[in-house]
Amino acid sequence: MYPESYVATQDETGMITDLYVVGDSYTVFVNGAPVLVTPVVPDWTAYEVPDPGCSNGFPPCPYTTDPNVAWANPAEWSTGSFSLKTGDVVTIEEDTLPSGYTDGTYAITATTPEPTSIALFGSGLLGLFGTLRRRLSR
């Protein structure tokens, strides 16, 4: 188990998921403080019959190289999200590993709200406040 790090280049939401073989879980630290512990999920030895979605036939199943597939199925894959500000330092520590493996794998992505969404949200709030102000001034 070893730490890895990432520095946020803007305000964003970080998303982490187990990847390749199920059974990894992580603690995410932001600026040295723990902000997320992903759930422990059963590792590949808990699956008696290979997952039919495991198209490459690689024997531990479930198996995927696509983080979106893993993210969409939190019952099998350990996932979580966290907020970041510009300059935050993210460190990831592996907590559990799949049986028979000496290292873990994960995918981490960061997304930022697009300006149009923020503007739309802001204009909605202004409209709401305007309506409340008119009702209260009557």
pLDDT at 1 over 70: no
**Digit-coded pLDDT (tens) for 25-59:** 999 999 999 999 999 988 877 775 555 555 444 55
CA angle, 20 then 50 then 68, to 5°: 35
**In the chain, how many domains are there?**
1
SS3 track for the chain: CCCEEEECCCCEEEEEEECEECCCEEEEEECCEEEEECCCCCCHHHCCCCCCCCCCCCCCCCEECCHHHHHCCCCCCCEEEEEECCCCEEEEEEEECCCCCCCCCEEEEEECCCHHHHHHHHHHHHHHHHHHHHHHCC
Residue 129 is assigned to a structural domain of this protein = no
Residue 101 is assigned to a structural domain of this protein = yes
In angstroms, rounded to a whole number, what is the distance separating the alpha carbons of residues 18 and 65?
10
Residue 103 is assigned to a structural domain of this protein = yes
Tell me the average pLDDT of the chain.
76
What pLDDT does residue 59 have? Answer: 56
Residue 138 is assigned to a structural domain of this protein = no
In angstroms, rounded to a whole number, what is the distance separating the alpha carbons of residues 67 and 85?
23
Q: Give the domain extent around 107.
A: 4-113
Please report, for the domain that includes residue 97, its CATH number.
2.60.120
Starting at the edge strand that comes first in sequence, how are the strands of the sheet with 33-37 ordered? 4-7, 89-96, 25-30, 33-37
pLDDT at 129 over 70: no
Query: Mean per-residue pLDDT for 97-104?
Result: 79
Nearest one of 19, 5, 28, 13 to 68, comparing CA atoms: 19
What pLDDT does residue 15 have? Answer: 86
> In this structure, are residues 101 and 20 in contact, taking their beta carbons and an 8 Å threshold?
no
